[in-house]
Structure 1
């Protein structure tokens, strides 16, 4: 059995690479990545060394410009990724500082972030981008809620409150929730609605997404690469991103008209709904529009 395990380990190293050797080649990999992909940002961070004369350093983090955003067809579009020691305040700050440098974000930037309310991330976003809109994923809020209130009715109340687009309707739905369960509603009120309710969003962002599923999708796609040696892991991610971006480009070429396929479907649905309304001229420069309310 020992001989079999040694043979398997040798075969694995031949296929995926040696873990130790790949750390030694990391700087060469970063230079090659930048040489073959113009304008790519790659930054390597190492642990402090008490002996400056030592030729070796201990790897801590690597950053490559890609992060998950939403494209105009409601699909994920990765922009920046990093491999770090752990998800903590220091690593989040290092990552977002690099991202800010690449995207030329200042403390007055009006970007919108959506996260799962990780404490370290919340602190850093508030510190680096105090004017940014920071949304909290509703699915993660519900995960916390159902630890005590697991029934489907609680989830339905939460989603109705989060999805409505006007403040009066939000207040009405929160009142209904309070009447259903005052304690649960009070728990939800501890989370400022500017972070999770559409009715309280600033309106600056072109997207009104409430969940961070796009990140979960991305994480699922790269899961098989996580246990590989460092460079093999980075190449797994890079190749996935390359294939995805190429597939998006192919889809764009097939699109007919000035809009993306998803935007076209949404517009067609709106046009169909609008055809059910009747506009009557009031005799001057206005119209009265009547018809059934649309969801």
Structure 2
């Protein structure tokens, strides 16, 4: 069946080399049928009608419409494309109220390694085409090029945090010690500053240079305990992207349009299945996601064993004692609990629910926005090949590196030629 599918795809989209000439028309078909937004990069030939493919960014309007109802968090990661034309698939994603990954935007880059210019272009596309929300937390690998770009004025729309998994991998590459790497992970994932300090002291005893290496990293970018304001919403890793879109690795010997088609089918199925599931509330009246309700039920049960002692006359500050005699303080007006769950995960803990029970307050007043609107938009089927529109604003594309006229060719970005000096030349295509 897989061989038959490959033959069918090749018959429609061409082989690896010929598929590049089909790509603009294929993307135009997706744009016309599903209001997809695009940004191209290609290396022009002396004849302006032809160019070699360099990269393409795309985002569907369905994702743009759904993201305002997601958490203000964007994770970014890459997937290697190691076929005949090596490159990278760049993926940006959010999280819905169920804490499930929400697809945002994609780009295919024909570069073995990513440069600061590539990341600058990718983040600019996200800001220009995907979202203008403020207060977004951007979680990425600690790649030096990314760090350089997010510090620039154009990227100040996001608060930058590091993926803990990528940090651990980078740490291991330097020090090659499994136990110290495990301590780095535990230090980054704990909710408490005291435990963070404890693990760093353990690392310091084992290797002073490793501790100095970690001290160079701003704590708020690495550790959950220092995530002031709960910008991360408890999200520490970006490797969920690889788990979600790892199927691309199975199509490395297929044309780039096929990779994009597989992603399109995946997105259409996600929106359809999530919309159907979220529309079927377990009891017909829940306004909140199952993810939130499950936490409420778990913490509500635990809260029954907590003792609550008011600490002020206004009913704002409470001491909550667990069965094991551990004490926590809840500040209702500030939405703070000393267990730090409320601040870091933006959802009330069992101590808050115990206070709600004491005051006879509905704990669901602290719940999140309904997630139905996230997946409200429909995806339309891709038209038949005979109905694909012409991509008149994009030249005929050839495989990457074809007939380059110089060692440093100019780029066409967003349909506009840009020389190596950065000055615009020539009309928009």
TM-score (norm 1): 0.83
Q: Does the CA-based 8 Å contact 2:184-2:199 persist in structure 1?
A: no
Q: State the partner residue of 1:239.
A: 265
Q: State the partner residue of 1:122.
A: 147
CA offsets 1:1-23 (integer angstroms, 9 cap, x no match): xxxxxxxx988833763233322
Which of 214, 217, 222 does residue 196 from structure 1 map onto? 222
Greater CA deviation, 135-144 or 74-83? Answer: 135-144
Rounded Cα–Cα distance in structure 2 between residues aligned with 1:229 and 1:251:
33
Aligned pairs for 1:205-216 within 5 A:
205=231, 207-216=233-242
Q: 1:26 to 1:263 in 2, by over 3 A?
A: same
Gaps of 5+ in 2: 1-5, 61-91, 327-338, 342-429
Q: Which runs of 4+ in 1 moved over 6 A?
A: 9-12
Q: State the partner residue of 1:6.
A: none
Shift of 1:245: 2.3
Aligned residues: CA RMSD: 2.8
1:157 and 2:151 equivalent? no
Q: State the partner residue of 1:46.
A: 42
Q: Does the CA-based 8 Å contact 1:85-1:91 persist in structure 2?
A: no
Rounded Cα–Cα distance in structure 2 between residues aligned with 1:64 and 1:140:
25
Greater percentage in helix: 1
Q: 1:115 to 1:13 in 2, by over 3 A?
A: same
Rounded Cα–Cα distance in structure 1 between residues aligned with 2:140 and 2:43:
27
TM-score (norm 2): 0.59
Shift of 1:101: 0.5
Gaps of 5+ in 1: 1-8
Which of 49, 54, 75 does residue 55 from structure 1 map onto? 49
1:28 and 2:25 equivalent? yes
Q: Secondary structure at the match of 1:79?
A: strand
Q: 1:200 to 1:20 in 2, by over 3 A?
A: same
Q: 1:206 to 1:258 in 2, by over 3 A?
A: farther
CA offsets 1:49-69 (integer angstroms, 9 cap, x no match): 4x2x44211111111116222
Which fold has the larger relative contact order, with Cα–Cα distance below 8 Å and residues 6 or more apart in sequence?
Answer: 2
Shift of 1:33: 0.9
Which of 92, 100, 111 does residue 75 from structure 1 map onto? 100
Rounded Cα–Cα distance in structure 2 between residues aligned with 1:16 and 1:234:
12
Which of 57, 80, 84 does residue 109 from structure 2 map onto? 84
1:95 and 2:122 equivalent? yes
